[in-house]
Amino acid sequence: MKTERLQVLIETEQRERLERVAARRGVSVASLVRRAIDVAYPSGLEQKAAIAAGILAAEPMDVPDPDDLRAELDVIRGRA
């Protein structure tokens, strides 16, 4: 894994909080920060947002009522 150095200024209370959590978990502050970034900004987020936007922008279409749809899916799955 390629790593890069990043300098970020945070408040003293934030640093102390990170240090307490890191000590309790037995990990480094840096690993907590990397994990927080992954949770807040998961990779592929932009791609997922674009897909969602495409779905939301699609023209409305008629769909069968749930019972008819279930029956249609059963036929497709070979359960009819």
Could you list the mean pLDDT of each consecutive 10-residue stretch along the chain, which spans 80 residues?
A: 91 97 97 92 85 92 90 89
Where do runs of H (alpha helix) occur along the chain? 12-25, 29-40, 45-57, 66-76
- According to the model, what pLDDT value does residue 64 have? 87
- According to the model, what pLDDT value does residue 41 have? 84
- According to the model, what pLDDT value does residue 38 have? 87
Cα–Cα distance measured from residue 9 to residue 34, given in angstroms and rounded to the nearest whole number? 15
- According to the model, what pLDDT value does residue 47 have? 86
- Can you read off the two tokens belonging to residue 59? 């023209």
| pTM for the full predicted model | 0.56
- According to the model, what pLDDT value does residue 59 have? 93
